[in-house]
Amino acid sequence: MLVNKVGAAIEFIPCRRELLMRNLMRLTAVVVLFAMQTAVHAQDITIYADSIDDWSVDGIQGENNWFNGYYNLTQDDDGVYAAADFMPFINDDSFEVWEDGENHWDGNAWRLYRDTADTGGNTGPWTRIHQNGGHPNGTNSAPPFSVDDSEPEEHWPIRRWVSNMAGDATLVSTLTAANTNCGSGTSTEVYHNGALVVGSSIATQGPEVQSLVQVTLAEGDVIDFALSPAGIDGNRADGCDGSNFHLQINDQQPPAPPRTPYADSLADWSSTGTQGENNWFNGYYNLTLDDDGSYQVADFMPFTNDAGPDGGDVEVDGNHWTGTQWDINASGGPWTSLGSSATHPNGTNSAPNEEHWTIRRYVASDLAGSTPLELNWQMAKTNLNNDGVTGKLFVNGEEVDSVTIAGNDGAGVNRSFYVNVNPGDVIDLALTPVGVTNDTDGSDGSRNQLTIHNELPDGPLYNPGETVADSSSEFSGEQGQDGWFYGIYDQRLDVEEGDGVYGVEDFEALLNDGSGDIWDDPPTWRDGENHWNGSKWDIVDNSLVSQGPWAEVTAGGGHPSANAQGDPEVHWAVRRWVSDVDGEYVISGTLQNGSANGDGTMGRIFLDGEEVWAAPTDGDSVEVEYTIQLQEGSILDFAIDADGAENFDPEDPFTIDAVNDGSDSTTFAVTIGSVNLFEPGGGMPGDYNSDGSVDVLDIDLQAAAINAANPDLAVFDENSDGVVDINDREIWVAEHKETWMGDSDFNGQFNSSDLVIVFTGGKYESGTAASWADGDWNGDGFFGSSDLVTAFIDGGYEAGARGAVNAVPEPSSLILLVLAAMSLLSFRRRA
């Protein structure tokens, strides 16, 4: 099993830098939330300098006022960067880079050390800068001893610009991971005359992040843009740290300052393993040993630190703090571990054959009263293999949000849930091993983060409601399962023989004959009778042939085809969902081309053949959020188009030849769900769980209070008479929900369909615990004859919506209805 275990590899900077690093992480957490997802547009913007556009192709230092060099943190006595610490690279026009340091220009890029091919090994230092990016060096990497016996050093590549103007300017810095398959990411900082520019620090492990900060410049001022190996979790090793980092200086007005989080699991992480620090606790949940299999607040099992701040050896029944992260077992199962960002659950396939969820817990003990909060949570895979994981968000033990991502989803999800939180409320973020098709924990290394805001965005706020479709968790090899279909769009064929515009009829469904064998002759792939290999849809088995077409549909997204290795076909990868619902729904998800090496891809959404949403991605992550009106039978197509650079012009058919599919593997994962309007403030009357909705969860909480020895009167005593009873229930039903006793499905009416629902459930007079939806209308926790009496006496049977003018059955009629209902039950039992 391949597992990301962070502890042993993490190397921290000297103590004098520890406080600075913590501040960097906090700034990172703030800025990342406001990371820009698109490049700076040119409208009405004057560009003073650009590290890409102004790049010297001849390696001339000072060309366009740009200089390239590095900073040696290890050799710096005070460990704090200053302008004088900049060490420029050297170009002696030889194009040969050796360890003697007499030349660093190889004709294309600046490199501190010669190529690893020349040293006979995969060694450092990796310090380098090219036009689009570069690579830092960590103290884990050093030259081969046979060539150079110097100690390993931490190096930051630096792009320096010397100002030739005076006045206000905006520094637009952008960072993207070039290698998203491993590592913990990198970070950048911008310095003005050697002083760190506040708000410029950003970090990423994959998606593009960007900061915009304004400074006042004078001629001759020095701007240094540095790339360090510090990842999103503070790990300073340089593995997989190839990055694209770009600096533009322009006159763009920066956005309003970002919100400061009220709490943040990354920025507030305890580096000493102290439970409760900043109100955060870290632990896990053992699903296998939980009798009822339903997570509750009391099921949280906190990790143990018996070794002190520096940590020590870990074991299941002893110490869990390594000095950098929480870990139940040092090697082998259980794999349950939790770092500042990195985390790994355990599945029943691993010792001791128990399912563990890792949990980050925040206790809102500092609140003065009921407070509306935004719970922003992120989750992504770091080990891009296997089946995927599931994230769950709980408030006081109640699950309020959940999503499953595929095993190759390095972009992941970024979601928000709005809730009115009371002092002492408990918020839990869990990671489970449940993937798209199984619950094993192979390659389940992931990262997650919970950020809490007490400053809410402007405008109406909505929480996710019922999910009606999920492209990842419902992915399968069966066409039509859960309403999903999988296919391609042959764009070249449509351009040459059709109208060249995608329509519903252009979708070509792929085939599954159950064999698992995919055609291996690219030119004749249409003769193949199977496109399902057991884990994905693929028109050609490219592992057997080194050419396209590459079109495939996977659980997390797919890959388009376009003029690959001599194959002229151009295909979009398309997944289709046919709606079985009516009404307004929200499409949410993530679009991300996994590499910035090509020219990107384009994600497109079509409703009944009409394009309603589109966005390009070239290594950056794009949030998908689109509100749509659906009808039963509506067709939604989610397409991955290879033309991220928009080279194809529908007015010029020959431009189809300019589309290419290099490095076009793309995540395009979506959910389709209803939404609930959130009302901040003291909360809506009857919204006992403060989730912004008055629903069945609230009335079931009321039932629990009715049966509790010491109910919370401040919450559940609706008539303030000192008890929680049926009278409070009648108020909730009539005034807060505005419906009738007996309305089991909460559609606003009490009628025969409600009786069918509850009797079909089989809990009548069974002695089994029941909820409102099961027939417990009087709140005693069971479904019996007293519930029927309560419902019929309320007078809503077949009366329509509450408040409507309808005839109310006479008491004698009510008795007959009750007897009829009980006769129905008797008939059902005899049957």
What is the model's pLDDT at position 268?
96
For CA atoms 107, 110, 111, 117, the dihedral sign is: negative
What is the model's pLDDT at position 507?
98
Q: Is pLDDT of 681 > 70?
A: no
Q: What is the dihedral of CA 575, 579, 580, 582, to 10 degrees?
A: 160
Q: Is pLDDT of 521 > 90?
A: no
What is the model's pLDDT at position 375?
97
Q: Is pLDDT of 626 > 90?
A: yes
pLDDT in tens, 723-734: 999 999 999 999
pLDDT in tens, 301-326: 999 999 999 999 999 999 999 999 99
Give residue for tokens 């915009």: 212
Domains of the chain are 7-250 (no CATH), 263-458 (2.60.120), 481-676 (2.60.120), 696-830 (no CATH)
Of 19-23, 576-580, 710-714, which gets the smallest average pLDDT? 19-23
* Number of Cβ within a 10 Å radius of residue 442: 19
Q: Is pLDDT of 44 > 80?
A: no
What is the model's pLDDT at position 738?
92
C-alpha 181/C-alpha 176 separation (Å) is 13
Cis peptide before 257 (omega within 30 of 0): no
What is the model's pLDDT at position 566?
66
pLDDT in tens, 407-425: 888 878 889 999 999 889 9
* Number of Cβ within a 10 Å radius of residue 335: 26
Q: Is pLDDT of 545 > 80?
A: no
Would you place residue 554 in the very low, low, confident or very high pLDDT band (cuts 50, 70, 90)?
Answer: very high
pLDDT in tens, 277-304: 999 999 999 999 999 999 999 999 999 9
Which phi-psi region, left, alpha or beta, contains residue 17 (left: φ > 0; alpha: ψ -120 to 50)?
alpha
pLDDT in tens, 647-668: 999 999 999 999 999 889 999 9
Q: Is pLDDT of 816 > 70?
A: no
Cis peptide before 14 (omega within 30 of 0): no
Residue 672 contacts residue 636 (beta carbons within 8 Å): yes
What is the model's pLDDT at position 462?
85
What is the model's pLDDT at position 530?
95
What is the model's pLDDT at position 3?
27
Q: What Rg, from alpha-carbon coordinates, does the chain have? A: 30
Q: Is pLDDT of 41 > 50?
A: no
- Give the length of the chain: 831
What is the model's pLDDT at position 217?
96
What is the model's pLDDT at position 258?
73
Q: What is the mean pLDDT of residues 605-634?
A: 92
> Which residues share a beta bridge with 174?
210, 246
pLDDT in tens, 444-497: 999 999 999 999 988 888 888 888 999 988 999 999 999 999 999 999 999 999
C-alpha 330/C-alpha 81 separation (Å) is 36
Of residues 784 and 124, more confidently modeled: 784
pLDDT in tens, 133-182: 999 999 888 765 444 556 789 999 999 999 999 999 999 999 998 877 78
Q: Is pLDDT of 9 > 90?
A: no
Judged on CB neighbours under 10 Å (0-12, 13-18, 19+), 803 is exposed
Of 89-103, 627-641, 788-802, which gets the smallest average pLDDT? 89-103
What is the model's pLDDT at position 280?
98
Q: What are phi and psi of 783, to 5 degrees?
A: -115, 115
> Which residues, at least 6 apart from 699, have a Cβ–Cβ distance to it below 8 Å?
729, 732, 733, 737, 772
- Helices within 99-193 (DSSP H only): 116-119
Average pLDDT, the chain: 86
* Number of Cβ within a 10 Å radius of residue 720: 9
**Angle, CA 646 vertex, CA 32 and CA 242 arms, to 5°:** 40
Q: Is pLDDT of 722 > 70?
A: yes
- pTM for the whole structure: 0.56
Of residues 158 and 185, more confidently modeled: 158
pLDDT in tens, 195-235: 999 778 888 887 788 889 999 999 999 999 999 999 888 88
